[in-house]
Structure 1
Amino acid sequence: MALSQIITTHIQAAVQALFNIELDKAELQATRRDFEGDITLVIFPLLKVIKGSNPVELGNKIGAYLVENTNVVDRFNVVAGFLNIVISDAYYINYFNEIKGDDAFGTRQPDADGKAVMVEYASPNTNKPLHLGHVRNVLLGYSVAQILQAAGKKVYKTQVVNDRGIHICKSMIAWERFGNGETPETSGLKGDKLVGKYYVEFDKAYKNEINGLVAAGSTEDEAKKQAPIMLEAQEMLRKWEAGDAAVVALWEKMNGWVYKGFDATFEAIGVDFDKNYYESNTYLLGKDVVEEGLAKGVFEKDPDGSVWIDLTPDGLDRKIVLRSDGTSVYITQDIGTAIQRVKDFPDVGGMVYTVGNEQDYHFKVLFLILKKLGYDWAEHLYHLSYGMVDLPSGKMKSREGTVVDADDLMDEMTATAQSISEELGKLDGYTDEEKARLYNIIGLGALKYYILKVDPKKRILFDPKESVDFAGNTGPFIQYTYARIQSLLRRADFNRSVTLPVAEVQLHEKEKALIKSIAQFPDVVQSAANSYSPALVANYTYDLVKEYNSFYQSVPVLGAEQETEKVFRTQLSEKVGETIKAAFALLGINVPERM
């Protein structure tokens, strides 16, 4: 049971014994740093139910009861309307003895309702490689999935691959025109990069044709519509939709190249999926739902045959869900895909969509439509909205100077980690293979932590060199502390598995502060799950590491005079290391055993 729950129970008992009043809840908060105490009871709300008392008198009565009748409270002080409670060393030592061997510390048993959450992230287009924007997307989505699972949810990780439409036809036409049969194997390029190359080639050829038509007397608008390469792409899309065998075969071949490229990038960045959905399979979904919605009166048909939903009473606008020619729009596909997911996974009770904040309005509309259609799970839909990632001017530009490729970004992070590590001279005695592995762990850890420590809704200015700093609020700083702890444990040549009796341990203030910090981890995981924010886990881990470093510099560990101090402090160090590793796993970050 959490300390706040224990204290609440004792306060309720105190109010019952002293005033014969049943107290529903107690308002507790962390004690301010400028006062002595571990947890504080806000007294003012109690004055509404306990008449005739002033705050100081009431605080002193409850405090005295807690000291006399519990073994949890050691002493107290009252400041105005606040009862500052000092928790006994015995409580902290017993608590630590309970958790020190708990490998699942910080996680919760699966929820009893058996409902699952589906988390969608990535969702790339098959005409180009993954880029920096995708990196923030996949890191957020994967981390939220990990956190929800730790908080007791069953989780399915999924993506929708945008594998159809004019964008892929552009790459296909350009490959047919200019590719000369080039493949990933003959070119040495990853499949997604090869297809992306021909998407760029299409754009170049398209612009050249527009310029030629304009020079011949066409307006720019006319030229854009009449350019032969664009007409070819549109005809190819029509053939694809009609099931033309040759077009479908080419589409399957080129998309196959892209999928292999995506898989390699996802593996390198350390994320995975339980289920892939493809827009080529889902783009017709939702039309039948529109018919059902018309019958229920959720949708309305205009004279031209188009179907709409009027959301103006809900503060939104009027939204089309089916065009007059019977074709669907994106919102229709999203409605159908959401419903299909619940058919595929009947235990899904909610969904998280990891999509940039430019789509905020789209998801307000989508969620409201699904609620109006009567789906109970629509009450548990969440848009994990996030801001853009910017780079300092001139840093890490792509070959085109516009979008930073995800593979290039990871390579650059590894190279930056190598450069800084070599400057600091930290890796003497490592083999080349060990160095390469460590550079990758540090580089990716720096990238992931820098992005995930920021609240998802905020825009990020990502500085690669700053992110690999071995000091401050960075991934490498935390990884270095973990490695230091592992080094300490390797040097501990005594039995540290014993459970020390409470009477044999005298807590130093730094030890107590460290146990308090460790104890916050389960609540942080729950808060991060409730708010879909990996930033809470990231910044908690940084605070824990700062607390540990303060402890490490203040008291001797292996050099302690008393054997009990040596054992207890080593056990504390080990638990901090385990907590860092568990927290970083929720962020998708690895930790090195030595560094």
Structure 2
Amino acid sequence: MQKILEQAVKNGLQEIYGVTINSVEFQATKKDFEGDFTIVVFAFLRSIKGNPVEIGTKLGEYLVENVAEVTRFNVVKGFLNLVISDSFFINSFNAIYKTKNFGFVAPNPKDKAVMVEYSSPNTNKPLHLGHIRNNLLGYSVAEIIAAAGKKVYKTQIINDRGIHICKSMLAWQRYGNGETPESTGLKGDKLVGDYYVKFDKEYKKEIATLISEGKTEEESKKQAPILLEAQEMLRKWEAGDKKVVTLWKTMNQWVFDGFDETYKELGVNFDKNYYESNTYLLGKDIVAEGLQKGIFYKKEDGSVWIDLTEDGLDEKIVLRADGTAVYMTQDIGTAIERFKDFDLEELVYTVGNEQDYHFKVLFLILSKLGYSWAKNCYHLSYGMVDLPSGKMKSREGTVVDADDLMLEMTDTARTISQELGKLEGYSEEEKEVLYKTIGLGALKYYILKVDPKKRILFNPEESVDFAGNTGPFIQYTYARIQSILRKADFDYNTTLEIGESPLHEKERSLIKQLFLFPEIIQNAAANHSPALIANYTYDLVKEYNSFYQSVPILGCENEQEKIRRTQLSKKVGETIKSAFKLLGINVPKRM
């Protein structure tokens, strides 16, 4: 419709004023005025001299006469509001009602793919609240990009080597007495995480002892025997010591198994895993080539650097003096490896905003190395998640465990649902499934409705509110629609005719809101922002609830209106379900 109007406006201004314009500016019609499309007349004053109200009136008259769908207009200052015919809305709704997966675009097999990296945890501790935002963002962005018509690969790089895992391994050797996830009943990631905390406690004791013996704090931190032993363990691992490698494999597998349970509960998945133990040497050859080409330079101590000061950044080390790689080296190599493994158009890194500078440097280095695809690398930077209790620290064991939080969300949903007393006729098993659906829906929606760049203060109880901009409120509306459809004892799947029944203003508003869904998906994909999907869904639900409260649906005496409003309800329900699927949220049929 907008394309039709744009061409008609161009033709009208040419015919009335003899001027040619390049574009027409549209904006949403304000609630106070009648209209479905609003044209900004002020924009034409660059080409036409005159009063904007007069110009708008002449243009409105032309459009009513020449565009069948324009039934009437009004002009408010420099804004031309156009009213579009019922027939246009009903015909358009007929088309989308029959469309399966409305708003989704099938991928073109010839197009290149997009890879989205997320999660990427360390194997020395369980996933925590920060990982939840990371996983929900990465998974949702991948689903949205796929819905927008791209082939998508979901991936993670698991940080399964280094001093952090050696600390857990050493603490388990010293204090574990051979215990396992099976013998303790603990998830493997939690068991290993406990020993990471244990290491830190023993390390601090040794530091305190050394300080009491007269050493400085800095000396004590470097000379604590437990740390020196962990460093020696890392050297043995890098040298391939069989005993150390066997323990490393065993404890990492405990963690991988634990992660898999958490991912399943959270409802996220991956197409491919990369492991730092396989990638940490990648990039060294690339650095050697870059050194020959003069992109990098070597300092007197043998370390290799790149000078990015002319680009507004600083100097960055890419290889240590002893020839070992740094994270930047590894990331250069891993990015190149991924573009070799897959025919990629874009690579999206879901990583917290504390790494903003790192990714600026990485993408610039890749560009200087001559990789044209470097411009298609994107850092999906997000803010931290805080709780009312304050900041989390892994070493001290004060992290909010992801599993515990998901369990707490289910418990919160259980408490609130029981207080509301709306679950008569449910079996205990059905209730538990529903509590989990509501609890996880609340968690996911609360996190995803916020722009990724913003920091979040997460309040579990506030998120499980059945009113306002929350997951449960939207889920409840979906369940209400399913109830209407169950009660509909007539065939409502017929093609609507224009007939004599005019559209109610609430029907018109609801259809207009539905029309936006395909564009919202494309915008959310382009901006890597699930928040656009979340807030669109909330707006759709508000529009539906206003419709529900303003007009009868199943109680309509007019058969045409009853069918139309039932169809509208059904399509809104389908769109809520589709939108929530993109956010990784389930919807219940009853609540």
TM-score scaled to structure 2, two decimals?
A: 0.97
Instruction: Name the CA distance, whole Å, in 1 between partners of 2:305 and 2:393.
Output: 43
Q: Which residue of 2 aligns with 1:472?
A: 468
1:443–1:198 CA distance, 2 compared to 1 (3 A) = same
- Please tell me whether the aligned partners of residues 398 and 405 of structure 1 are also in contact (alpha carbons under 8 angstroms): no
> Please, which of 105, 122, 134 is the counterpart of residue 131 of structure 2?
134
Q: Which residue of 2 aligns with 1:48?
A: 46
Q: Does 1:93 align with 2:90?
A: yes
SS in 1 for 2:499: helix
SS in 2 for 1:334: helix
Q: Does 1:522 align with 2:518?
A: yes
> Please, which of 57, 61, 74 is the counterpart of residue 60 of structure 1?
57
Instruction: Name the CA distance, whole Å, in 2 between partners of 1:504 and 1:442.
Output: 42
SS in 2 for 1:559: coil
Residue correspondences, number = 591
Q: Which residue of 2 aligns with 1:300?
A: 297
Of the structure 1 ranges 216-225 and 374-383, higher mean CA displacement relative to structure 2 is found in 216-225
Q: Does 1:436 align with 2:432?
A: yes
Structure 2 matches for 1:269-284, cutoff 5 A? Answer: 269-284=266-281
Instruction: Name the CA distance, whole Å, in 1 between partners of 2:452 and 2:520.
Output: 16
Q: Which residue of 2 aligns with 1:343?
A: 340
- Please tell me whether the aligned partners of residues 351 and 380 of structure 1 are also in contact (alpha carbons under 8 angstroms): yes
Note the alpha carbon deviations across 1:344-400, whole angstroms, 9 max, x for none: 11x201111111111111111111111111212111111111111111238999996
- Please tell me whether the aligned partners of residues 192 and 251 of structure 2 are also in contact (alpha carbons under 8 angstroms): yes
- Please tell me whether the aligned partners of residues 12 and 63 of structure 2 are also in contact (alpha carbons under 8 angstroms): yes
SS in 1 for 2:317: strand
Q: Does 1:591 align with 2:587?
A: yes
> Please, which of 375, 378, 382 is the counterpart of residue 382 of structure 1?
378
- Please tell me whether the aligned partners of residues 71 and 91 of structure 1 are also in contact (alpha carbons under 8 angstroms): no
1:295 shift after superposition? 2.9
Q: CA-atom RMSD, angstroms?
A: 1.8
Note the alpha carbon deviations across 1:276-322, whole angstroms, 9 max, x for none: 11111111111111122223332222233222211111111111111
Note the alpha carbon deviations across 1:255-288, whole angstroms, 9 max, x for none: 0000000000000000001111111111111111
1:299–1:148 CA distance, 2 compared to 1 (3 A) = same
SS in 2 for 1:200: helix
Note the alpha carbon deviations across 1:221-242, whole angstroms, 9 max, x for none: 2222222211111111000000
Structure 2 matches for 1:256-335, cutoff 5 A? Answer: 256-335=253-332
Q: Which residue of 2 aligns with 1:39?
A: 37
- Please tell me whether the aligned partners of residues 126 and 258 of structure 1 are also in contact (alpha carbons under 8 angstroms): yes
Of the structure 1 ranges 53-62 and 485-494, higher mean CA displacement relative to structure 2 is found in 53-62
- Please tell me whether the aligned partners of residues 298 and 309 of structure 1 are also in contact (alpha carbons under 8 angstroms): yes
Letter aligned with residue 244 of structure 1: D
Q: Which residue of 2 aligns with 1:24?
A: 22
Instruction: Name the CA distance, whole Å, in 2 between partners of 1:66 and 1:296.
Output: 64
1:365–1:398 CA distance, 2 compared to 1 (3 A) = closer
- Please tell me whether the aligned partners of residues 196 and 395 of structure 2 are also in contact (alpha carbons under 8 angstroms): no
Instruction: Name the CA distance, whole Å, in 2 between partners of 1:486 and 1:461.
Output: 33
Structure 2 matches for 1:157-556, cutoff 5 A? Answer: 157-345=154-342, 347-393=343-389, 402-556=398-552
1:167–1:395 CA distance, 2 compared to 1 (3 A) = closer
> Please, which of 149, 153, 164 is the counterpart of residue 150 of structure 2?
153
Instruction: Name the CA distance, whole Å, in 2 between partners of 1:520 and 1:411.
Output: 36
- Please tell me whether the aligned partners of residues 161 and 277 of structure 2 are also in contact (alpha carbons under 8 angstroms): yes
SS in 2 for 1:145: helix
1:247 shift after superposition? 0.7
SS in 2 for 1:503: coil
Note the alpha carbon deviations across 1:55-96, whole angstroms, 9 max, x for none: 223222221121111222121112222211112111111110
Structure 2, unpaired ranges of 5+: none
Letter aligned with residue 312 of structure 2: G
Of the structure 1 ranges 504-513 and 89-98, higher mean CA displacement relative to structure 2 is found in 504-513
Letter aligned with residue 37 of structure 1: G
- Please tell me whether the aligned partners of residues 197 and 397 of structure 2 are also in contact (alpha carbons under 8 angstroms): no
SS in 2 for 1:117: strand
Instruction: Name the CA distance, whole Å, in 1 between partners of 2:391 and 2:563.
Output: 48
TM-score scaled to structure 1, two decimals?
A: 0.96
Letter aligned with residue 230 of structure 2: A
- Please tell me whether the aligned partners of residues 396 and 409 of structure 1 are also in contact (alpha carbons under 8 angstroms): no
Instruction: Name the CA distance, whole Å, in 2 between partners of 1:401 and 1:35.
Output: 58
Letter aligned with residue 269 of structure 1: L
SS in 1 for 2:584: coil
> Please, which of 553, 557, 560 is the counterpart of residue 557 of structure 1?
553
1:368–1:266 CA distance, 2 compared to 1 (3 A) = same
Note the alpha carbon deviations across 1:133-169, whole angstroms, 9 max, x for none: 0001100111111111111111111111000000000
Of the structure 1 ranges 305-314 and 122-131, higher mean CA displacement relative to structure 2 is found in 305-314
Of the structure 1 ranges 347-356 and 437-446, higher mean CA displacement relative to structure 2 is found in 347-356
1:282–1:145 CA distance, 2 compared to 1 (3 A) = same
1:111 shift after superposition? 4.9
Q: Which residue of 2 aligns with 1:13?
A: 11
1:61–1:119 CA distance, 2 compared to 1 (3 A) = same
1:457 shift after superposition? 0.8
Instruction: Name the CA distance, whole Å, in 2 between partners of 1:209 and 1:499.
Output: 78
1:52 shift after superposition? 4.1
Letter aligned with residue 308 of structure 2: L
Structure 1, unpaired ranges of 5+: none
Letter aligned with residue 203 of structure 1: D
SS in 1 for 2:282: coil
Of the structure 1 ranges 77-86 and 479-488, higher mean CA displacement relative to structure 2 is found in 77-86
1:401–1:325 CA distance, 2 compared to 1 (3 A) = closer
- Please tell me whether the aligned partners of residues 392 and 399 of structure 2 are also in contact (alpha carbons under 8 angstroms): no
